[in-house]
Structure 1
């Protein structure tokens, strides 16, 4: 019998009945259209993807990581009083049987300090992290700075 570490821990603590099945959030999320906007020099890149939650419970994206970048953060762009702003966010809720798009001008991944230059056409693997500890490994295609 195979258990995820979180499920096993809950069972051992008596917080999850022995007959319960606890599906990981990442098991219900599908990623599509994943791409990175590569900017010149050492400027940070933006990561974009549509996440669809096929599960009956919300999925909570709370981070990401990649061997190709020193840091990956979840950000949100907005415009207030004519000024463009960007702020880091701690999590992003994906509703049950719904989807959320990380897209230019909205939520996105901020990819900092590439370990080696990323060129248009390259594929970069990014692990999307969910609040329950599960991850979804997703391949992002690098596109040039003028991509939409």
Structure 2
């Protein structure tokens, strides 16, 4: 009987340990991030509280980084003003926060080309199951290091304005 209780306890402990092996979800109680500015050409992203820079990050982009995303599969990262609109704590790229691409203008441009505008544009960490393939390896997302996305995930709220510049 004691062996069975011990075995069940050990299995429970291992099961719970397996649940806690995901990304760290940090807490943030500093100044509010009121906007994000992404300078694609410089590969620099800034988290701002009004005019003050709270944090700055280097990043990788899509495999075709120059120009505004127009259609699904073009490997480009959007340019323009969007919102952070969702969060994924179980992302295949450590953690991720979603950007509200496509907007109505993006859909109109793609429709005129007879194509889909695509979507699923995120700021995210590194791949969970493989290594990133050099610089500008995403399909149009903004990729930072895992420790950085943990910090960004904690600091940025849904509804935050993000401006992506060439």
- Structure showing greater Rg: 2
Give the TM-score, by structure 2 length.
Answer: 0.26
Give the TM-score, by structure 1 length.
Answer: 0.28
**Greater strand content:** 1
